[in-house]
Structure 1
């Protein structure tokens, strides 16, 4: 009766194994696809997000940079054109009654082609406005005629009249959207009389930006495709390895100890390789145990029925040991997963902390360099301010000296006038003396000669005094111009002092900003320390997991001790094994659940 029950149990076990094997084959492909998809998504999601973020940032930077570069280029073109006209033609900008544009005495309206030489190698255009009226331009309409009827916007002219360069990204010229720069045109007196316009169609700039963006998107797509291919290859290999290890566990659960672990998986140096090595060790140990059990069953068969009670005790001990081994196996798998996850988290956190520390170090160096540069700039500004004060003082001294010289020149002029009067009186007296000497006859001839010489000297003195007067008048005119130029210089120096003060205040603001950056760097450094503390806490968690592993090892040792006690009991039962025929048969049937080589 007992043997029949055991045979039925074996049949049920075989049917269960066959059904489980079929189910496992059906789940194998879905398991592989699920793991592979998750691995690919885990690796691709951060990459896609990063590429999209970098792409958006790059597009924004390219657009801003190209617009800024276009404005700078147009500003340089306008400044160069203005400087070229100033160098080539002297004099002020003006418009005559016929509406012709002059630079000094040169009629530029008759030299319209001259402005084309500045734009022939590029896509930009130039125009000279006097007030809001266009007088000179390289812009042409659809009939290839110069657009001299253009009018500048009053708001633009108001801004340029203040001496400021006006920049705009959108200005309509004959229905075309332009990016333009308006540069003030000043006469010798410093008054703003017009504007130098340099502009470029927005379509040219937009087309160039779109070309750069398309190239960047193309490169990003290629990079993404490469990442997808690499991620798919790596994920496929990793998923195949995991599925192979999972199949080993399924085979062990079905009692199949004949399976072999793939050598390529055993050769892996990662956690999967360690898991495969552990499974191989488990298979070897189970094969050894099953073989020993088979040998033991044979010995029990020879022991006899008089040791049935001891055999039952041995069976119970074996069941307890199997349960303990199963619990240990489950705990070992769970611990391996937890330790693997913790190890990965610690590695990622270590990389983040290292990167944060490196960034904080770079940021600290940058703020220190900014601080030193700010201190140097402040010192330079102080020296420049002192130098400007000395310059102002020197100019005031020069002005005083010029005024004194001007006064002295006036006095010399008065003295020259006095000399002229004296010469006139002397000439008159000499004439009177000549008349008297003529009346005296022969006695007055000698006196007449002297009077004639005196008259000549008086005439020469009068001529010299006239020349001195002309020189003095010219000197006074030049002196007055010098005084006027010196007064203008004083005004410019006063304006320069104001600009220096404004620049100095700007440097103070920059210094304050540097101080704020240093404080923020300190905050970042503290945050990095907090991250390091968190990493230490995670290390503690891993240490706890290690302690649990040690406890499991202790349990395994206890299990080994129980196995040793069981072996001793079996040795005792070996003496009467002939009486355990029935028990040995049952044990043989149970052991047949495992397939061994």
Structure 2
């Protein structure tokens, strides 16, 4: 689709088709929704009229029962007569063609029914329709509790229809409280659906006619729009085609431009005037361009010659700079190596300083430990001196104890001798008491007790003697051990004395070592400070060498860049000359 006339036709036709189709679809949709709403309102209106009608009929039937009840209350008839009268009235009361009433009590027992006479007196509370709806229970609930405003719907077969088809039946019930009667009536409401169906068919026919009219209107509008679009597109595109024909290129590539003669005052006429003005400007532009291209050819030839001479000069300078750059680079490399060597030496000096500081700290720690050891040896000597004094006192005490134990042994021997003599005297006294007969019995008893006491004393004395002998043996053993211990402590005391002398010597040596290490550390720090100065000087020399090398390289790069620029200028001059020649060839193709 390259022609603008086709684009105009397509735009107008599509716009018209979319608008008319949209309007037609909206109209059809509106008619369908309106049709559905009307059917819904019709169905609701018919149902409301039916509900009002059967409700009024039931209220009429209840008023007849109330009349009979009032007769009973006034005493004109009995209650049974009033009930029978009410049944007759309900049995004979009709409305419409098939409308009738029936009576159930609140327990589900059928009281009166003009059609189902055989079921009167039976309880129908459990009757269900084919869908499981307990219709009698629901009718009673609607009458007593006004459930669903007293209305009940259920499915039931028509009495005169043996097809087995089910129809919706809608009933209304009302409670008569004095007798607990539920008065009900109901009818099949399929007639309402039949009316709605007839109206729906009428609406469907009207809807089909409206759709046909709408489609014809859309087609007619589309055809009319097509005719108008063709006329308008031709009117719009004709002057445009004329402008295109006045500016064209022939088979040889020559472009011919003619003045456009269009008298229209609209935008197309304004465009033609603008093109004519542009044609005049193009003529002047081509003439000036031709003159400029001639000048450019001359200038580009001269520029090319100058570029060749500049290139030869720069090449000589570039070679010299390359040699200079190489020497500076070698110097920078050597300086860099020296700087790295000095940095390595500086790191080693720093390591020596750090090790020397650590060594000094370790020696100071050793000096403190030696002083603590010397003090510990001194304390140990003092403790051994005290212990030696205590040991001497203990030895003297043990010697006194040995002497005392020997005295106790002498005393025990004396006691044992006294006990033996007492025992002998007691024996003699017993013999003399026996000789004395009755007169010596008391003395015999005393003598016997004295004998027992002497034996006990002898036995106790023997035990004490054994204990004293054991104590003496232990004391002698302890005395021997103390003697050996004293000999050992004398040797330890002598060793402690030698140890104290050794610690004193160590302390003197450590102090001398600390003094020497301080001197070493001072010299190392001086070397370290002078090392930093040397490293800085070498680094400055290296940096200067590197900057010189970099400057040389920049100069070389700059010369290379200038060489490339001059080459580009030369190339550009050649291209410019070629472009100017081409431009002259192009300009010659314009036929103005």
Instruction: Report the TM-score range of the alignment, normalised by the length of the smaller protein.
Output: 0.3 to 0.5
Q: TM-score of the superposition, structure 2-length normalised?
A: 0.34
Q: Which of structures 1 and 2 has the larger relative contact order (alpha carbons within 8 angstroms, sep 6+)? A: 1
Rg larger in 1 or in 2? Answer: 2
Q: TM-score of the superposition, structure 1-length normalised?
A: 0.34
